[in-house]
Amino acid sequence: MDDLYRELIIDRYKNPQFRGQLDPADITFEDDNPYCGDHIRVDVRLDENNVVTEARYSGEGCSISQASADLLIEYIHGKTLDEVKALTKEDVLDLLGIQLGPVRLKCALLSLKVLKAGAYGLGEATDDLVE
């Protein structure tokens, strides 16, 4: 149990470091997990070379969805837009450092899905983005 609820996750959930919204932002996107109502919004600012200078997330949900958003948003600072587009499910799982079943996986990947949908400028966030 404490395996899953690793201190890192509980800590990030209770004391998020990248919660917030940016206005203006170059990328803003939000979506929810239809199965549980978890909601994530991301705001990203890029410099003239398309490098992430500033990013924040907001929303509500379980510790996994919120902590993975917090970790992911931290991780993308300094990355290029192309690097953000190329992020995968494995990157998020590496950040979390835990194993997840199919349902919780959707919680963990919600922020990535939202982020990539925003990065690609899509109208809708689809599961393909994180498979």
Task: Answer yes or no: are the C-beta atoms of 38 and 59 closer than 8 Å.
Answer: yes
Which is nearer to other proteins, 31 or 43 (by Cβ)?
31
Which residues inside 4-33 make contact with other proteins, applying CB under 8 A? 4-5, 10, 14, 32
Backbone angles phi, psi at 123, to 5 degrees: -80, -25
* Total residues binding other proteins (CB under 8 A): 26
- CB atoms < 10 A from the CB of 131, how many? 9
- Least distance from C-beta 126 to other proteins, angstroms? 6
Which is nearer to other proteins, 47 or 60 (by Cβ)?
60
Q: Which of 38, 57, 73, 81 binds other proteins (CB under 8 A)?
A: 38
Binding mask 76-105 for other proteins (x = CB under 8 A): -------------------------xxxx-
Distance from the Cα of residue 118 to its chain's centroid = 11
Backbone angles phi, psi at 79, to 5 degrees: -85, 155
Task: Please tell me whether residue 121 binds other proteins under the rule CB under 8 A.
Answer: no
Amino acid identity at 114: V
CA 51, CA 77: separation in Å to the nearest integer?
8
Task: Please tell me whether residue 126 binds other proteins under the rule CB under 8 A.
Answer: yes
Instruction: Classify burial at 70, counting beta carbons within 10 Å of its beta carbon; exposed 0-12, middle 13-18, buried 19 or more.
Output: buried
Interface ranges with other proteins (CB under 8 A):
1-2, 4-5, 10, 14, 32, 34-39, 60-65, 101-104, 107, 126-127
